Structures are given as C-alpha cells and as structure tokens.
Chain A
Amino acid sequence: MDREKLTHDLIVEQIRHKLAREYKEIKLNPSGDPDLILANHGLTLGMVEV
C-alpha cells in the first residue's frame, strides 16, 4: 500500500514538474480526485487524476 502511494506521488510530482512550464498555477490536491489542478490566472484549464 505504501509503495502504491509512493509511486502515485512520484508520478504526480513528475507530471507537475513537466507541466510547470505550460501552467502558471498547478495546485496539488493531497486528498486526490483530482490530483492536480492546472490553472492560469485563476482560470482552471485542466485536471489530472493519476
């Protein structure tokens, strides 16, 4: 279970890092669902669920 979470968090972090150039605001959602919220100037442009 811990491994799963670790892998999950690692993937989320990798995605966040990759998308950081395209989106000025990337909100990490620790509770998941979605894991990442991608936004620019407060306008949500995408959500990522790992």
Chain B
Amino acid sequence: MNPGLNELKRHIFFELMNLVGRVFVLVRYSDNVILGNRGFAQEEKDNGIILVFNSKMNFLWDDYGITATLVFGTSPQKCFVPADEIMAVYCPELNAQFVTAPQTAVSGQKETEGAMPKKEGESAKTKKSQNVIEVDFTKRKK
C-alpha cells in the first residue's frame, strides 16, 4: 500500500475531528486489528466494524495506526487499528466521507514496479507473462 494513502486517511481524520469533534472509522477484519479481548462478530468479519472517535477521547495515531481505549457496551477495551485496515473515514454530520477500496495484489505490484529500476520491472512483467496461457479465440471462429 502506498504510505501516502495512510497519511491522507490520518489527515482527513483530524480535519473532520477539528470540524465536528466526532469521526467514524470503518475497519475491515484482520488478525492485525486488536479490539482488546472482544474480537470480531461474524457480521463484523464480513462487513467490517465501525468505530467512533471523538475529541474528548484519548487516542494516538502514529505511523502504524490508531491506539485507543474504546468502550463496547460497558466494557473498555484496549484497541489497536492498523492504518492499512481502515477502509473509510467519515462524518455523517457533514455528509463527508473518504473511502478506500481494498488494495489488490496488482496495485501493490504496480507500486513495487514504480519503485524499482526499469529493467527489474520489465523482468517481473516477463515472469508474470510466462505464467499466463494466452488463448487465441479468433482461430475457433469459422
């Protein structure tokens, strides 16, 4: 994932927090997401979980993600949400939202290619093309 994307999420998060004082975050299920001893319900595993942060809470958003103590029902849980697992940062009061689609392996590969010298990028492409069987459907048409 492009590290700039996580920085953008963080920036939008704090901008919304400054404007309204409350920000919603949609977090997808991952082993890296820690919600104390609570874990994820099945529906949350499928659709993600929405966490609400407000300006009165103590939380820290560092290079890796958000660390905070969140209250679920009545029980406070020490949570860690990696920035990579944040799918959306939004604020219903403002009708404003920032949504990221899941980063696919293909987009990840593009990033690597961009960072690598051209020759290596080309060889990676060649390797990939060796594993692809090309079928010419035009021959079948008669």
What separation, in Å, do the CA atoms of A38 and B50 have in the docked complex?
17
Whether, in the assembled complex, A6 has its beta carbon less than 8 Å from a beta carbon of chain B, the answer is: no
Contacts across chains A and B counted by CB atoms under 8 Å: 15
Q: Is the CB of B24 within 8 A of A41?
A: yes
Q: Which residue of A lies closest to B87 (CB)?
A: A43
Q: Which residue of B lies closest to A39 (CB)?
A: B92
Q: Give every chain A residue within 8 A of B95 (Cβ-Cβ).
A: 44
Whether, in the assembled complex, A32 has its beta carbon less than 8 Å from a beta carbon of chain B, the answer is: no
What separation, in Å, do the CA atoms of A10 and B26 have in the docked complex?
34
Main secondary structure of the interface of B (DSSP, over half): strand
How many of A's residues come within 8 Å of B, CB to CB? 4
Q: Give every chain B residue within 8 A of A41 (Cβ-Cβ).
A: 24, 50
CB distance from B136 to the nearest CB of A (A): 39
Q: Give every chain B residue within 8 A of A42 (Cβ-Cβ).
A: 24, 90, 92
Q: Which residue of A lies closest to B24 (CB)?
A: A42
What separation, in Å, do the CA atoms of A41 and B25 have in the docked complex?
11
Q: Is the CB of A44 within 8 A of B97?
A: yes
- Contact residues of B between 76 and 118, Cβ < 8 Å to A: 88, 90, 92, 95, 97, 99
Q: Mark B5-42, 1 if CB is under 8 A from A, else 0.
A: 00000000000000000001010000000000000000
A residues sitting closer than 8 Å to B (CB atoms) are 41-44
Q: Can you list 15 pairs linking A and B with CB atoms under 8 Å apart?
A: A41-B24, A41-B50, A42-B24, A42-B90, A42-B92, A43-B24, A43-B26, A43-B50, A43-B88, A43-B90, A43-B92, A43-B97, A43-B99, A44-B95, A44-B97
Q: Given known contacts A42-B90, A43-B90, what 13 new A-B pairs fall within 8 Å (CB)?
A: A41-B24, A41-B50, A42-B24, A42-B92, A43-B24, A43-B26, A43-B50, A43-B88, A43-B92, A43-B97, A43-B99, A44-B95, A44-B97
